[in-house]
Amino acid sequence: MDISPKLEAAINEQIGIEFSASHAYLSMSAYFERNAFDGFAQWMRLQSEEERVHAVKFYQYLIDRGGVVRLLAIEAPNWDFESVRSVFESSLAQEQSVTQHIYDLYKIAMDESDFATVSFLKWFVDEQVEEEKAVSDMIDKLKMAEGNPDSLLLLDRYALEQRASDASN
């Protein structure tokens, strides 16, 4: 069964959203590099790479289902931020928006009884829970560290260790 034109269009949009997220995370990483936060920079760099992997998963899925890939333009992301916390808050807002788009895709797939797409999307539904939790936890820690440079530097180190342990699992 070929994918419907409606799902094809929605998946093409999702490919664009994932590439935009990758672009935005790379820009956040550059901000942290400029400000000598090596751990936060690494966190965002790896997140950028993960988003690219997500985009390519959707891309490959669309090809496998006989759909036509139409890549969309990517807008320039924000490149300057007020604080470490504001970067992570932007990240959380971005992830929440991605989650909503995945839920919208899921609803279309359910309405069309396209169970292959429903099954494919389940991985993304679970992934979004993990991603939102990781960013929310970091925001909570950053709130506790507010006004304390030593704690902020410890969190920068923690971010580095956290991503290194994710990468080894």
Residues that bind ligand FEO in the complex, under the rule CB under 6 A: 18, 21, 51, 54, 95, 98, 131
Close Cβ partners of 140 (under 8 Å, ≥ 6 residues apart): none
Do 3 and 67 form a contact (C-beta atoms < 8 A)?
A: yes
CB of 108 or CB of 134, closer to ligand FEO: 134
Query: CA–CA distance from 97 to each of 19, 132, 156, 161 (Å)?
Result: 14, 11, 26, 27
Nearest approach in angstroms of CB 114 to ligand FEO is 21
Q: How many helices (H) and strands (E) does the chain have?
A: 5, 0
* Residue 165, burial from CB neighbour count under 10 angstroms (0-12, 13-18, 19+): exposed
Nearest approach in angstroms of CB 154 to ligand FEO is 25
Nearest approach in angstroms of CB 54 to ligand FEO is 4
C-alpha span between 169 and 153 (Å, rounded): 25
Nearest approach in angstroms of CB 62 to ligand FEO is 16
Nearest approach in angstroms of CB 83 to ligand FEO is 21
Crossing angle (nearest 10°) for helices 149-168 and 38-64: 40
Close Cβ partners of 145 (under 8 Å, ≥ 6 residues apart): 151, 152, 154, 155
CB of 20 or CB of 152, closer to ligand FEO: 20
CB of 126 or CB of 146, closer to ligand FEO: 126
CB of 133 or CB of 157, closer to ligand FEO: 133
CB of 25 or CB of 145, closer to ligand FEO: 25
C-alpha span between 3 and 162 (Å, rounded): 39
